[in-house]
Amino acid sequence: MTPRRFHRLRQVLDRRQPDLTVVLEEVHKPHNFAAIVRSADAVGVFAAHAVTRDGTLAVADAVAQGARRWMRVHTHASLYEAFDGLREAGMQVLAAHLDEGAVDFREVDYTRPTAILLGQERDGVTTEAAGRADRWVAVPMRGMVASLNVSVAAALILYEAERQRTAAGLYDRRRLDDETYHRTLFEWAYPQHARRCRREGAPYPPLGDDGEILGEVPR
């Protein structure tokens, strides 16, 4: 771990947004899933959520380009499980849903704690999921096609959230709590050492100003 690399990791982690996330409901195509994860990483999402009944994820690594290493993806067996956690975190849930009750995605306040709910490629979010969301948002369509690819829609919505949060100064200060920050920084900088520590039940050692390990690591 070079000092330059370590400071780059810190720079990225300093901008992570713990109160902005995406929830993917049965997004089955690996290419789309990976593209959404990549866009979420690009705007500083700290962790994403996936509702998948069989508990598995199929991500196209070539598209994600390692984004999953830098962003956690939590899996949920049901909508209830996913939504309960989001509500406990005080998040508004915005469903990307093509319905006459949906508002233009640019008319929503994304500086609030926000979860963006996206559904499967063909049918979108389920009726159940739409009913549990706080609001529906949609990307205006001026042409003949009815909707965008789910990964494209996700990128547009996420970058609107990024635009608003930049204007509000939410990227100007570190927003992760100390414990989460230092744990994540160690895991990013030294993934193999982190695995050894977890296997042995040992705490992560502290890191110096340039990323040097200040302590013992299990072998």
- Distance CA(181)–CA(12), nearest Å, equals 11
CATH number of the 8-167 domain? 3.40.1280.10
Residue that is written with structure tokens 């990976």 in the block: 34
- Integer-rounded Cα Rg, in Å, for the chain is 18
pLDDT of residue 55: 57
pLDDT of residue 62: 43
Q: Domain spans of the chain?
A: 8-167, 177-219
User: Which class for 49: exposed (0-12), middle (13-18), buried (19 or more C-beta within 10 A)?
Assistant: buried
pLDDT of residue 198: 93
Write down the pTM of the prediction: 0.90
pLDDT of residue 190: 96
Q: Which two tokens stand for residue 201?
A: 């039940």
H or E, element range at 78: none
pLDDT of residue 204: 95
| Residue 74 φ then ψ, to 5° | -90, 130
Q: What tens-digit pLDDT sequence spans the chain (219 residues)? A: 899 999 999 999 999 999 999 999 988 788 888 899 999 999 999 999 998 876 566 554 444 446 568 888 898 988 888 889 999 999 999 999 888 889 999 999 999 999 999 988 777 888 898 899 999 999 998 887 777 889 999 999 999 999 999 999 999 999 999 999 999 999 999 999 999 999 999 999 999 999 999 988 888
Instruction: Of 49, 38, 57, 42, give the one whose Cα is nearest residue 91.
Output: 49
Q: Which two tokens stand for residue 129?
A: 């999921």
pLDDT of residue 48: 94
